[in-house]
Amino acid sequence: MFKKKPTASEVDGVQYRRAKTWQIICYACNALVGMSVYSLIGMASYSASIGYGITTAAVGIILTCTRILDGITDPLLAFVYDRVNTKFGKLRILLIAGYLIEALALYGMFTGFSSKGMGLVAFTLLYVVYVIGYTVTNMTAQTIPAIMTNDPRQRPTLGVWTTAFNYLVPMVMSMVLNVVLLPKCGGTYNQAFLTAACNITLIVAAIGTLLVCLGVSAFDKPENFVGTKKAEPLKMADIVEVLKHNKPLQCYIASNASDKLAQQVGSQAIINTILGGIIIGNIGLGTILTVISMVPSIFFAAFGAKYVGKHGSKKGIVNFTCISMVITAVMVVFFIVIDPKQIGVMGSPAMIIYVILSLLQNGSNMCITTSNTSYMADAIDFELDRSGRYIPAVVSGTYSLVDKLITSFAAVIATGAVALLGYTATMPQPTDPCTPAIFWMGMVLKFGLPIIGWIITLIAMRSCPLTKEEMVNVQKRIAEKKAAAQSEFYKEQLQ
């Protein structure tokens, strides 16, 4: 007979908290909200230009300023998060409220007020309302993994499901929007296309919100939001204190913010138009190839989770970052030595090589994302051990504040770059000719920026103390402190 493998609780001597698989899957459906909206908001520059008559340069400034506002509202949500306690829970109330706010704003931005003679002020106000709704939804979702499980083997598994959904949803949305919907709307980004894209997005996001609420219902209870010390009202000084003394959070900010800046620049619709529509010359096939290379690579996330469960979140981030750097460098060389138009020819050797390289690149990136999901939950528990306070919204909000102040420049970088190429009053279209300037700008923004971000990650993680062994000690100390606090409470009740 096979001997049963000991659990993490048995190995580490800690009674870990675990979630059921269906609950984890429902939580991962948050991607139906976040990533569908992410796909839509990536076309905000087109909505601003087509629906509100705003110039390219002005669009970049607006999106940057609202992104900074987004970062400021993140830690402020911690105060709302701390005070929302109803008989229907905390998490579900915030998730539903956040969806309703951003849904109203997006409908107004892309459909309700678009192409109605409105201008810069109307677009900006709608974008600000969207930012508020997005903040409520996103920040609440970021606190859920730490609440659902603290098992070091299960946390990366949760990351597998979230990573898979975070990649699958934008893939499917891209197929629906660029392969199915765009040709029906004349092959260009116009008002009819933006309206249909918005309606589809809001339906998908509504379904995702309901599924997440179902998954977290068992955990949305007051006893899951307490620390090891007596709770005190949050103050602004708490945010500064967390940023100043939580070393793993500092490392994560430097690491993930640089990566996300590169990711958000590369995911802008205008950059994808340059790569797939102009450089490769076939945006429909380019989208299909992206999906073909993405689906198998999702299985890499399962390998990444197993690796992180065995070696820890920090080691997973470092090692998979090195792998991603090498693969991306090879991708750049590949584009330089071949005629990129051959990638757009179905069945060509160039197309096959591109799919293989994209598969490997996406796979290693998914392993990084899986590691990051586990790492953020670890950083929340580190703060509980360090300060005695369970303040997940403060930790994630502090990270998001700095992160978004940095990544707020994504839209400016993207729109500024295409403006340098001559697109000052219009946006790139798939039918535009490919010039050397466009080619090199596409290479730098799509592949060069991620490599720079990964170099920053490796430097930041060198000083991170959150190894796998240290996380076991963190969980042991938390368990001991909670037991002591409970014992003290009982003593006070008896007196």
Contact 400, 140 (CB under 8 A): no
pLDDT tens profile 272-282? 788 877 888 77
- The amino acid present at 303, given as its one-letter code, is F
Question: In this predicted structure, what is the pLDDT of residue 1?
Answer: 42
Q: What angle do CA 252, 255, 260 make, to 5 degrees?
A: 110
pLDDT band at 494 (very low <50, low <70, confident <90, very high): low
What mean pLDDT, rounded, does the chain reach? 82
Q: How far apart, in Å, are the Cα atoms of 223 and each of 11, 90, 218, 220, 227? A: 26, 12, 11, 9, 9
**In angstroms, rounded to a whole number, what is the distance separating the alpha carbons of residues 365 and 446?**
14
Report, as an integer, the average pLDDT of 387-393.
79
For residues 330-356, average pLDDT: 86
Looking at residue 305, its pLDDT comes to 82
What is the spatial distance between Cα 78 and Cα 94, in angstroms, rounded to a whole number?
Answer: 11
Question: Which stretch of 9-18, 149-158, 161-170, 261-270 has the lowest confidence by average pLDDT?
Answer: 9-18
Q: Is the pTM of this model over 0.85?
A: no
| Confidence label for 287 from pLDDT (cuts 50, 70 and 90) | low
Q: Is 157 exposed, middle or buried (0-12, 13-18, 19+ CB in 10 A)?
A: buried
Q: Are the C-beta atoms of 162 and 301 separated by less than 8 Å?
A: no
Confidence check: pLDDT of 489 > 60: no
Which SS3 state, helix, strand or coil, does residue 280 take? coil
Is residue 402 predicted with pLDDT exceeding 60?
yes
Average pLDDT over residues 432-458: 87
Q: Which of 486, 468, 490, 488 is nearest to 478 (CA)?
A: 486
130 token code pair = 């969207």
The Cα 162–Cα 299 span in angstroms is 13
The mean pLDDT of 288-297, rounded to a whole number, is: 68
**Which contiguous run of DSSP H or E holds residue 141?**
helix 120-148
- pLDDT greater than 60 at residue 2: no
* Most trustworthy range by pLDDT among 5-9, 188-192, 208-212, 240-244: 208-212
275, 286 contact by CB (below 8 A): yes
CA dihedral 68, 74, 77, 82 (to 10 degrees): -150
Residue 86 phi/psi, 5-degree rounding, is -125, 170
- Per-residue pLDDT at 320: 93
Question: pLDDT category, 96, cuts 50, 70, 90?
Answer: very high
Averaged pLDDT for residues 445-465 = 88
What are 148-183's pLDDT values in tens digits? 888 878 888 887 888 788 878 887 888 888 888 888
Q: Which of 130-139, 142-151, 409-418 has the lowest mean pLDDT?
A: 409-418
Check residue 495 and give its pLDDT. Answer: 56
Query: Could you tell me which residue, 324 or 53, shows the higher pLDDT?
Result: 324
Residue 293's pLDDT is 66
